[in-house]
Amino acid sequence: MTERSGSGRRMSRRQALGLLGLGAATVAVGATGWATSGAAGPTRSGIAPPSGETLQVPAELASRQGRLGLDLSAAPGAPLAGRDASAWGYNGSSPGPTLRVRPGDQLALRLHNRLDQPTNLHTHGLRVSPEGNSDNPFLHIAPGESFDYRITVPSEHPPGTFWYHPHAHGHVADQLSAGLAGALIVDDGSEPSVTTDRVLVVTDATLGTGGPVPADGRSRMAGRQGELLLLNGQHQPTIPCATGDVERWRLINATTSRTLTLRLDAHPLTRIALDGITLPTAVRSDTVRLAPGNRTDVLVRPDRPGTFALIATTEARSAMGMGMGPGGAAVDAETTTVATLAPSGPPRPPSALPTFPAGEGPTRDATTGTRRLAFSMGMGPGGMGPGGMNPGGMGPGGQGMTFGFDGRAYDADRTDQTVALGAVEEWTVTNPTPMAHPFHLHVWPFEVLADSARTPTTATLQDVVLVPAQGWVRLRIPFTAQTGRSVYHCHVLDHEDLGMMATIAVN
């Protein structure tokens, strides 16, 4: 095991021009450990038909007497989408087991790395120590090694839906898209009961004749999207229930790059939580929107029998001026069925849904400081395109192409922001680039005050927010929970791996 992962990946100018369609053929950056079909690029076996299978629930491991102890093995060989796809999984499954803890518990987890590349574990959204053998993003556990995590959940930690996934810089997108993710629930016993409490992990994958296939360089630049959108590792499963049942769906967007808008045919979705925090008031809506890494909890109550599609629309991501496709569109919008809800039984009249106590609200303490930071994508001399394609370059000597913040690629040995414990700061995060980027800050959640798209605010805390292309968001961050050193980054995880990440120390 080693700590700190060094600087971000940096492409040569020749590679960058190739990826932009201006020079040599597209070049793959990095390896995934998945079989590919040859130098000409990955082959695909086509979109699988709907499985028709009943939705499977990940195994659940719950704490006892203040402790959850387990062995978690990251290894190839997990089935995916009903195939023996040699995907990667935790303890042989993708998604991995759901971990359920209570405030004040200790998570004692031994992670075994059975992969051919380094890995680690990030408890996404938990307000825990980012240092030592806790939620430390700088750890790298080498192939064949094991590591003992000891993560203490604070006694005041709010209940909610969180998740875990790898965070070894340079390998994150490969490992998540290969299947390494799982849900993590904090349960304090205070929330009202429902008929069924479901964990629904949304992932995507591209499966070739030999199993999953790697992303090429162009896909990494835009942020890869798998051909299949999966729910709990299944392709278009069926969710059986009874009419009148009140279902709680804990929806986790564990894709590497997709911003999803979800809707359920003929049924409203009553949103009760965002990123693990219960909303002050439940919001009834036809749709919910999730950037990569976001979670939302919704209540669903079918009042009549039938079959109703859960439909996901993936937002297009523009790359105007980057040569990413016709008309400048890097990734087109896409709509697909994720699952089918199949209630049975006689029609039921509408009835009131349970009321959930409001979660922690934003701090009202005075603001102690302000900062501005910016996503950046750039090339050396001869660079091109609007919004962050900096002619002066961002790498040594101005050569090559770099993803980063404030004109600098990630360097684990550099501290980019230093904050005093107890500070309450307003950050303006700007995005001069031609595509939207989800901003994620480890450990310290924030309130979204406003953004350039005039998105309605939620008056609660969250840990991922989508920053519009050539736009901005303004955040209020209370640095009151933990001290230590961690990171903030783009949650299009290919971009993170390419250097769009920075460090923060709270002292």
Question: What single string gives the DSSP state of each residue in 313-368?
Answer: EEPPEE-TTTT-SGGGEEE--EEEEEEEEEEESS-----PPPPPPP-PPPP-SPP-
What percentage of the chain carries pLDDT values higher than 70?
A: 82
* Closest residue by Cα to residue 485 from 417, 433, 422: 417
pLDDT of 38 reads 28
Let me know how long the chain is. 507
Whether residue 6 is predicted with pLDDT greater than 60 in this model: the reply is: no
Task: Please calculate the CA angle 468-473-479 and round it to the nearest 5 degrees.
Answer: 135
- Same domain for 380 and 246: no
**In whole angstroms, what is the distance from residue 315 CA to residue 331 CA?**
8
Mean pLDDT of 463-481: 96
Question: Residue 339: how many CA atoms within 13 Å on its side-chain side?
Answer: 25
- Same domain for 338 and 385: no
The DSSP secondary structure of 21-32, one letter per residue, reads TSSSSP---S--
54 belongs to a structural domain: no
- Same domain for 304 and 379: no
276 belongs to a structural domain: yes
Provide, for the chain, the percentages of residues in helix, strand and coil under a 3-state DSSP scheme, each rounded to the nearest 5: 5, 45, 50
Q: What is the pTM of this model?
A: 0.88
Number of independent structural domains in the chain: 2
- Which of 20-34, 264-278, 444-458 has maximum average pLDDT? 264-278
In the numeric block, which tokens belong to residue 434? 């031609």
What percentage of the chain carries pLDDT values higher than 90?
A: 70
Question: Whole-number mean pLDDT of the chain?
Answer: 85
CATH number of the domain residue 304 falls in: 2.60.40.420
- Same domain for 269 and 309: yes
45 belongs to a structural domain: no
Contact 505, 417 (CB under 8 A): yes
Enclosing domain of residue 295: 196-344
Over residues 202-229, the pLDDT tens digits come to 999 987 666 567 788 888 888 999 989 9
pLDDT of 491 reads 99
Mean pLDDT of 428-455: 96
**In whole angstroms, what is the distance from residue 267 CA to residue 270 CA?**
10
**In whole angstroms, what is the distance from residue 98 CA to residue 75 CA?**
17
Residue with the bigger pLDDT between 127 and 380: it is: 127
pLDDT of 492 reads 98
In the numeric block, which tokens belong to residue 18? 């190739």
- Same domain for 200 and 340: yes
* Closest residue by Cα to residue 400 from 388, 217, 392, 492: 392
Whether residue 506 is predicted with pLDDT greater than 60 in this model: the reply is: yes
Question: Residue 378: how many CA atoms within 13 Å on its side-chain side?
Answer: 24
pLDDT of 481 reads 85
Distance of CA 93 to the CA centre of its chain: 18
